[in-house]
Amino acid sequence: MAATNTTPGTLEEFGLTRERVPRHVAIIMDGNGRWAQSRRLPRIEGHRRGVKSVRTVVEACAELKAIDQLTLFCLSSENWKRPRRELDLLMSLLEQYVIEERSEIMRQDLRFTMIGRTEELNQGVLQEVERTVECSRDNRGMRLCLAVNYGSRAEMVDAIRDIAGDVANGELSPEDVDEDLVSSRLYTAGMSDPDLLIRTAGEMRVSNFLLWQISYAEIWVTQKYWPEFHRNDLLEALQDYASRERRFGGLTK
């Protein structure tokens, strides 16, 4: 059932129940550049328009008061292959977003965080990120997590190096290494695994995003480019998720 209401509402108004709503939603926000090119606009205009979709989706998730975490794939470690000018503009947009949305993050009681090899970002961006993380630390609402300079394989390499160092130092033995230990060394330590992975722009791949964490996530793909993704599309994804039977390798009764 597709959502048609464009205004905030309760779960019940959208045919949803708290028990059937994903606690953690992750989104691969794809298609900004293609959206712009299809309109003969510079690629950066697609990224600017994509920020509006971020605001819409964050607000919608927070208003439902049933989603514990929203993780957005903003910039992959592979994206550094793009033209320098585009990357500089992306960093500028990220810094601008973190500054401009700080008051909204506090108003909506969101807990803001960022994952990835963030130490490789420029100092201006890092300072604003750290400021927003710190001021929202005691908030009690939904966690908003941005994945920036993120790659899941790099995340696993960092976790393995960390564990290997402890083994080499005698702090751990190989027998101590299990799934819980690995999870505790990932960038997402302390976070729940995503229940629902949304991807825009019709691509049928996960693009090195949260490979460990999405092992049992439900996947929902839309042909729409990210700048075209709005509240209705999110609600449609949530309704589709609610209709599925999650078995985690077992059998339904």
Residue whose token pair is 């961006």? 125
Q: What b/e sequence results for 188-199 when a residue is b if at least 16 CB atoms lie within 10 Å of its CB, and e otherwise?
A: beebebbbbbbb
Beta carbons within 8 Å of 128's beta carbon, 6+ residues apart: 95, 98, 99
Determine, yes or no, domain membership for 174: no
Q: How far is CA 81 from CA 47, 86, 87, in A?
A: 17, 10, 9
Domain limits for position 236: 21-151+194-242
Residue whose token pair is 């302390």? 190
Measured from the Cβ of residue 126, the count of other Cβ atoms closer than 10 Å reads 16
Q: What is the pLDDT along the chain (253 residues), one digit of tens a residue?
A: 344 444 445 677 777 888 899 999 999 999 999 999 999 999 999 999 999 999 999 999 999 999 999 999 998 887 777 788 888 888 999 999 999 999 999 999 999 999 999 988 889 999 999 999 999 999 999 999 999 999 999 999 999 999 999 999 999 999 999 999 999 999 999 999 999 999 999 999 999 999 999 999 999 999 999 999 999 999 999 999 999 987 766 655 5
Per the structure, the count of domains in the chain is 1
Active-site residues: which are they? 30, 79
**Closest listed residue to residue 115, CA positions, set 92, 146, 91:** 146
Determine, yes or no, domain membership for 234: yes
Determine, yes or no, domain membership for 168: no
Determine, yes or no, domain membership for 164: no
Determine, yes or no, domain membership for 173: no
Residue 34 pLDDT = 96
Write the CATH number for 48: 3.40.1180.10
Determine, yes or no, domain membership for 252: no
Q: Tell me the C-alpha distance between 52 and 226, whole Å.
A: 10
Determine, yes or no, domain membership for 5: no
**Closest listed residue to residue 163, CA positions, set 149, 153, 154, 173:** 173
Determine, yes or no, domain membership for 4: no
